[in-house]
Amino acid sequence: MPTVHSATYELLRRQGLTTVFGNPGSNELPFLKNFPTDFRYVLGLHEGVVVGMADGFALASGRPALVNLHAAAGSGNAMGALTNAWYSHSPLVLTAGQQARSMIGVESMLANVDAPQLPRPLVKWSYEPSCPEDVPRALSQAIHTANLPARGPVYVSIPHDDWGHEVSAETALLSEREVSSAALPSEAQLETLAERLNAARNPVLVLGPDVDAYSANALAVTLAERINAPAWVAPSASRCPFPTRHASFRGVLPAAIQGISDRLAGHDLIVVIGAPVFRYHQYAPGRYLPEGAKLIHLTCDMQEAARAPMGDALIGDIHATLEALMPRLQQSDRARPEALPRPEPQVDPEGLLTPETVFDVMNALAPEDAIYVKESTSTVTAFWERVEMRHPGSYFFPAAGGLGFGLPAAVGVQLARPERRVIGVIGDGSANYAITALWSAAQYRIPVVFVILKNGTYGALRWFSRLLDAEDSPGLDVPGLDFCALAKGYGVEAVAVSARHDFETALQTALDDDKPRVIEVSTTTIEP
């Protein structure tokens, strides 16, 4: 008879979840016992790093990723990273080892009390099977739930004495299942949408991360060219949905109510695709919509559609909806948008590089299909202005703003996309949240180029301190960090640079290598 252990591994195998990201504790050892040779285990030294690596892997591959956490403590350590996964629609299947069933009620050491409640509200579904025989079915439900629209993380707590129990041969039916969605608007809905677009006097597109997640980037370009509309990236951008040198590209909208309304003034129809309406951050109240404007929202997420404060929403598969819409749209005779001017080079002060110079060098030397995993919040605007991204899946940023994403996510993205070079652009304030990801990169020889921008302060906080009249707040600076020493301690070669020529040499050397490298760059401080 099959056991919970053998049935689960067969299920995972058939569903393609053969890479396990984890940091094991005693509760997890019965699951990891007799680990199959066709599976890969990626060890992280902290659960936040484990989930960050899995998050990057899932986002870049477009498939669910399996995470193995340790009871309540390990799950708690992972919660910060889980916040980003929730808002990025990352399909993570989180499993957590639980104490033996007979020991849970007395709250023995390592018992995860009321385990399904622990990760909420940052998961789509959370469950602890009521009996050992239900474990494979629960994991099957978790995998399909994570992968169905809108994608997102799920959580299953599994008592460690369940793995050896026998299960029915009928359990094999779970491995044969396929679950898919077909969310396409009706003909009437598509006709109405096309009529509104064709009748618009001056439409504008606002494109979000799910355009990239659904590989609808080329369709977004076709749409912009068909209706001759400018294309903005939705605020708090976690992915790049539109080529940044296209004539229609206008940059990233500010994450403020009045700021968005000001940028979109003069447009009579705002079409938001694959993004919430809107992910605000800075408190700048004002009108939700410019005078005379209407809004249409195309999304894969019913929760995003329901909570939006304005506009008409249509829920469906982003790629399929745009594909079906395009034949119904007339070619506009409006003047086409003109490309934005290229920014001028910056003058670097002695002994420092401006972030703008760093990004100019990256843009010149990196492969055209490079993937950038970015966690330097104070340099967001400069990055989008200066780095050309033309391919799908070229940019990942923490969707919830939770620090600790960049280093591990870069490792996970590189694991998922070995044919493309991954460059992690990390602020010195961000890097220490997940610095142990360097160890995983070294141990598994994952050739990520980590560029750490070192300015000795939390640059974004400095900016906010001025906005909030709180410049005397403590804890805004992080002096005395030596990332070369830290990197070498984890087994990663590193070099510190403070001049353009030295950075060019270091970056080219790193790109030519087949193992991870850290480049610490002394930079000026700029505003987001």
The domain that holds 476 is classified in CATH as 3.40.50.970
Q: Which of 176, 198, 232 is the last residue of a domain?
A: 176
Q: CA nearest 313: which of 262, 257, 274, 267?
A: 274
Q: Indicate if 118 and 51 belong to the same structural domain.
A: yes
Q: Let me know: does 520 contact 488? Beta carbons within 8 Å.
A: no
Q: Indicate if 313 and 378 belong to the same structural domain.
A: no
Token pair of 117, please? 């409640």
pTM: 0.95
- Provide the CATH number for the domain around residue 215: 3.40.50.1220
Out of 166, 225, 246, 281, pick the active-site residue.
281
Q: Indicate if 510 and 361 belong to the same structural domain.
A: yes
Token pair of 171, please? 């359990």
Out of 22, 25, 48, 80, pick the active-site residue.
25
Q: Indicate if 22 and 162 belong to the same structural domain.
A: yes
User: Does residue 292 carry a catalytic annotation?
Assistant: no
Residue 69: inside a domain: yes
Q: Which of 291, 309, 328 is the last residue of a domain?
A: 328
Q: Indicate if 41 and 8 belong to the same structural domain.
A: yes
Q: Which residues span the domain enclosing 227?
A: 187-328
**CA–CA distance from 274 to each of 305, 316, 497, 525 (Å)?**
10, 10, 39, 32
pLDDT of res. 218: 98
Query: How far is C-alpha 17 from the geometric centre of its chain's CA atoms?
Result: 19
Out of 56, 401, 402, 429, pick the active-site residue.
401
User: Does residue 388 carry a catalytic annotation?
Assistant: no
Residue 46: inside a domain: yes
User: Does residue 401 carry a catalytic annotation?
Assistant: yes
Cβ neighbourhood burial of 469 (10 Å; 0-12, 13-18, 19+): exposed
Residue 342: inside a domain: no
Residue 334: inside a domain: no
Query: Can you give the pLDDT of all 528 residues of the chain as single tens digits?
Result: 899 999 999 999 999 999 999 999 999 999 999 999 999 999 999 999 999 999 999 999 999 999 999 999 999 999 999 999 999 999 999 999 999 999 999 999 989 999 999 999 999 999 999 999 999 999 999 999 999 999 999 999 999 999 999 999 999 999 999 998 988 999 999 999 999 999 999 999 999 999 999 999 999 999 999 999 999 999 999 999 999 999 999 999 999 999 999 999 999 999 999 999 999 988 888 999 999 999 999 999 999 999 999 999 999 999 999 999 999 999 999 999 999 999 999 999 999 999 999 999 999 999 999 999 999 988 999 999 999 999 999 999 999 988 999 999 999 999 999 999 999 999 998 999 999 999 999 999 999 999 999 987 665 555 555 656 666 667 666 677 899 999 999 999 999 999 999 999 999 999 999 999 999 999 998 776
Out of 16, 26, 266, 368, pick the active-site residue.
26
Q: Indicate if 132 and 109 belong to the same structural domain.
A: yes
User: Does residue 440 carry a catalytic annotation?
Assistant: no
The tally of domains found in the chain comes to: 3
Residue 348: inside a domain: no
Q: Which of 151, 176, 201 is the last residue of a domain?
A: 176
Query: Strand 422-427's sheet: what is its strand order?
Result: 395-396, 371-375, 422-427, 449-454, 517-522, 493-497
Residue 345: inside a domain: no
Q: Indicate if 259 and 402 belong to the same structural domain.
A: no
Dihedral angle sign, alpha carbons of residues 242, 389, 61, 153: negative
Q: Indicate if 384 and 499 belong to the same structural domain.
A: yes
Residue 149: inside a domain: yes
Out of 22, 47, 356, 406, pick the active-site residue.
47
Out of 70, 89, 144, 267, pick the active-site residue.
70
User: Does residue 28 carry a catalytic annotation?
Assistant: yes
Q: Indicate if 30 and 172 belong to the same structural domain.
A: yes
Q: Indicate if 252 and 228 belong to the same structural domain.
A: yes
Q: Indicate if 369 and 466 belong to the same structural domain.
A: yes
Out of 5, 22, 28, 429, pick the active-site residue.
28
Q: Indicate if 374 and 417 belong to the same structural domain.
A: yes
Dihedral angle sign, alpha carbons of residues 364, 365, 370, 372: negative
Residue 343: inside a domain: no
User: Does residue 164 carry a catalytic annotation?
Assistant: no
User: Does residue 25 carry a catalytic annotation?
Assistant: yes
